[in-house]
Amino acid sequence: MTHDIILAGFGGQGILFLGKVLAYSGLIDNKEVSWLPSYGPEMRGGTCNCSVVISDEPVGSPLVIEPAVLIAMNSPSLEKFIGSVRPGGTVICDSTIVDSPVTRQDVNVFYIPATDLETENNLKGGANIILLGKLIKETGIISKETFKKAIEKIVPPSKTQLIENNMKAIQVGMDS
């Protein structure tokens, strides 16, 4: 089983972090994983995307071309990648920001107002994790328990309060 995932949005929305959480989760589940960022001069504020592969087999190309999962946090990202999603694939968008609906009929699309939910629940910067919560609920690629272990591994010891916030955000996403 191989999960090919693309995460995309604006720089600053936590796209690469979201990718890291997924990759670490795969690592904790003893899977083969890879994480590949887009890199270049658009380090701040520009578009940003990240390929993550979680697999039972050694990862071939770390560059995901036909994702089974797309998380899109803005309209340009959705437009850029929606055509490449495999039929039957899962698309999760932040509907607070994405303004036009997906026209494809052969993919499962979930619209989550993640940025609004972030504000409502006082979870600053948590929209990315809220969207991941929805992904966990809909696909079970990783479990909530694994997610917790991954967050504990990534968050530096000086910022332990972030663990709680992230756990809250993932629950908000799962309940949405």
Partner 1 sequence: MERNLMKGNEAIAEAALRTGCKCFFGYPITPQTEISAYLSKKMPKEGGVFLQAESEIAAINMVLGASASGVRVMTSSSSPGISLKAEGISYIAGSDLPCVIINVQRGGPGLGGIQPSQADYWQATKAIGHGDFHVLVYAPCSVQEMVDTVTKAFDMADSYRMPVIILADGLLGQMMEPVTFPEKKTELPEKPWATNGHGNKRKHNIINSLYLQPDALENSVKNRFERYEELKANHAQAEAYLYEDADIIVAAYGATARIAKSAVNLARESGIKAGLFRPVTLWPFPVKEINEACKNAHTVLCCEMSMGQMIDDVKLALNCSKPVGFFGRTGGIIPKPSEILEEIKKTGGNA
The count of chain residues that interact with partner 1, using the rule CB under 8 A, is: 19
Instruction: Kindly indicate which of the ranges 54-62, 69-77, 99-107, 109-117 contains the residues binding partner 1, using the contact rule CB under 8 A.
Output: 54-62
Q: Is the dihedral of CA 10, 112, 95, 165 positive or negative?
A: negative
Largest CA distance in the chain: 46
Report the amino acid identity of residue 171.
Q
Binding mask 114-153 for partner 1 (x = CB under 8 A): ----------------------------------------
Binding mask 58-87 for partner 1 (x = CB under 8 A): -xxxxx-x----------------------
**Residue 158 DSSP one-character state:** G
Q: Which of 17, 29, 37, 75 binds partner 1 (CB under 8 A)?
A: 37
Work out whether 20 is an interface residue with partner 1 (CB under 8 A): yes
Measured CA angle at 6 (ends 108, 71), to 5 deg: 50
**Residue 13 DSSP one-character state:** S
Pairing of strands 47-55, 32-37: antiparallel
Work out whether 24 is an interface residue with partner 1 (CB under 8 A): yes
Numbers of helices and strands, H then E, in the chain: 6, 6
Instruction: Kindly indicate which of the ranges 37-45, 104-112, 113-121, 168-176 contains the residues binding partner 1, using the contact rule CB under 8 A.
Output: 37-45
All residues at 6 or more sequence positions from 157 whose CB lies less than 8 Å from its CB, including other chains: none
Work out whether 36 is an interface residue with partner 1 (CB under 8 A): yes
Q: Return residues touching partner 1 (CB under 8 A).
A: 20, 23-24, 27, 32-37, 39-41, 59-63, 65
